[in-house]
Amino acid sequence: MRTQRDAPWLGMTRLQSADDDVVRRAKAGDEDAYRELVERYAPGLYRLAFSLVGNAADAEDVLQETFVGAFRHLPRFEQRASVRTWLSRILVRQAARHHRTRARLRAVRREGPAGSIGRSDVERLEDRPVEETETRIDLLGALDALEPIHREVLSLREFQGLSYQEMAEVLGVPRGTVESRLYRARQALKEKLKDYLAT
Amino acid sequence: MSDCEDLRQLSAYHDGELPPEERRRLEAHLTRCEACARELRSLRRLSQALAEAPIPELSPEALERLGAVAEAVRERVVLKLTTRLAAVAASVLVACAVWLSAGGDVQRITYTRLEPWERAAVTLSDQPSTTEVQQVAQWVVDDLSLENGHD
């Protein structure tokens, strides 16, 4: 899905202007503006959430927590970053919190190691039609098995279409760090896929 | 994977994030380096596969639930803001009341009990004084009058 990244600069300016108007109305308490923000950004952010947490139920929870947190702090949002960057930053943090919680629960329940392929497979089997799981499960399983910092940059780039500068703002790291992480993330994902193809 | 030093830049080139001069240099290199050209094709296939990843769409029901959550948060935010404004207004009123009761800049008028001769001295009356105190007061007033040469 390539939308924002490929839009001409004039289109981006119009989009940013429309976003600014919606945020301004939301800050003024306009209930339609809140819903408009959800409708405009939820579908794209859901893909990001799913790629980060690996299943539909958790993705919806993370997405909900993202919007709750965003709206609570809306009065303090100064619109220096785009709305998409701002929401993506909140979502990445919520997903990281989700992973920490899941890791603690896993330790308590004495389940398999983090990113174990078997558990990810089971979770995704519950979300998708049976005929899709066998042929497509390897890619998302490989993504789920990556280190969190690699999964984050890949998801932000491939599912959100953010620029390196936007990703730097979301993750709070220098642009050069984004570039090197993305390079290593892609190499790591290709290695994981090699393992999947071998089994 | 090739050991070519330009491999690391291929990721940024693939994302369109290289400065123009670097992009031109790498494009010239790609015409000569099969390893880099192969790696670039690999990156493009990977991105294509991720774009086609079977991630489910957000259902209309889930979107509706999110909208309801947004509405609930909006109401809480507005209520919180309204409550805070009311609290600030109330604080200002209380502060003003405390300030006024403490005196502020208004001079307090105090009343003290007058002595009998003082009261008599300032009382205008055509009736002759009856008590001794009043008589003394009357005498003081008369002595201090202009007729006796006092200013």
Interatomic CA distance for residues A132 and A129, integer angstroms: 6
Residue in B38, B74, B75 to test binding to A, most A beta-carbons within 10 Å: B74
Contact A127, A54 (CB under 8 A): no
Two tokens, residue B106: 């208004």
Contact B150, B142 (CB under 8 A): no
pLDDT at A32: 87
Long-range own/partner contacts, residues B59-62 (CB < 8 A, 24 or more apart): B62/A46, B62/A60
pLDDT at A7: 43
Domain enclosing residue B39, as ranges: 7-51
| pLDDT over 90 (residue A58) | yes
Query: Number of structural domains, chain A?
Result: 1
Residues of B in contact with A180 (CB under 8 A): 8
Q: Is residue A8 part of a domain?
A: no
Q: Is residue A124 part of a domain?
A: yes
* Residues B98, B61 within the same domain: yes
pLDDT tens digits for range B76-89: 777 777 777 777 78
Are the Cβ atoms of B77 and A159 closer than 8 angstroms?
no
Contact B74, A71 (CB under 8 A): yes
pTM higher than 0.80? no
* Residues B99, B123 within the same domain: no
Closest CA to B24 of B36, B38, B13, B40: B13
Contact A163, A5 (CB under 8 A): yes
CATH code for position A54 = 1.10.1740.10
Residue in A62, A90, A120, A139 to test binding to B, most B beta-carbons within 10 Å: A139
End-to-end Cα, chain A, rounded Å: 29
Q: Is residue A46 part of a domain?
A: yes
* Residues B66, B95 within the same domain: yes
Is A110 in the B-facing interface, judged by CB distances under 8 Å? no
Average pLDDT of the residues of chain A:
80
Q: Is residue B1 part of a domain?
A: no
Residue A155: how many other CB atoms lie within 10 Å: 25
For A164, nearest residue in chain B (alpha carbons): B17
Q: Is residue A6 part of a domain?
A: no
Backbone φ/ψ region at A5: left (φ over 0), alpha (ψ -120 to 50), beta: alpha
| Selected residues 150-179 of chain A with any CB under 8 Å from a CB in chain B | 154, 157-159, 163-164, 179
* Residues B11, B47 within the same domain: yes
Type of residue found at A31: E
Residue in A1, A3, A35 to test binding to B, most B beta-carbons within 10 Å: A35
Task: Tally C-beta pairs within 8 A across A and B.
Answer: 105
pLDDT tens digits for range B38-70: 999 999 999 999 998 888 999 999 999 998 888
For B76, nearest residue in chain A (alpha carbons): A72
Contact A139, A150 (CB under 8 A): no
pLDDT at B4: 64
Q: Is B39 helix (H, G, I), strand (E, B) or coil?
A: helix
* Residues B96, B60 within the same domain: yes
Are the Cβ atoms of A34 and B1 closer than 8 angstroms?
no
For B70, nearest residue in chain A (alpha carbons): A34
Query: Number of structural domains, chain B?
Result: 3
More confident residue, A23 or B85: A23
Domain enclosing residue A131, as ranges: 14-198
Q: Is residue B94 part of a domain?
A: yes
Interatomic CA distance for residues A142 and A122, integer angstroms: 14
In angstroms, what CA-CA distances link A103 with A79, A100, A152, B76?
34, 5, 17, 32
* Residues B18, B42 within the same domain: yes
Q: Is residue A128 part of a domain?
A: yes
Percentage of residues of chain A with pLDDT beyond 70: 74
Q: Is residue A179 part of a domain?
A: yes
* Residues B125, B93 within the same domain: no
Interatomic CA distance for residues B131 and B141, integer angstroms: 15
